[in-house]
Amino acid sequence: MVANVGGFDRVLRFVAGVVLILVPFVAPSVPALGGLGNWAWLIGAVGVVMLLTAAFRFCPAYPLLGINTCGR
């Protein structure tokens, strides 16, 4: 795997991942988000994927789309 996720992209993915992982735990206590139900857990799973792509600096969708934010 060649790194294809750059610095700014990596930080953005990390922050978004943390926020999305917290959704299933915060949603029941926020009335506006309380109606998410099982969708909240799917959103949390997307957050885990975001964290993993930030940690490994590789996004499997980027080669398919011809994107490389790594700058190498």
- Which CA distances in Å does 23 have to 42, 43, 45, 50? 10, 7, 10, 14
pTM: 0.85
**36-71, pLDDT tens digit by residue?**
777 888 999 999 999 999 999 999 999 999 999 987
**18-42, pLDDT tens digit by residue?**
999 998 888 777 776 666 777 888 9
Radius of gyration of the chain (CA): 14
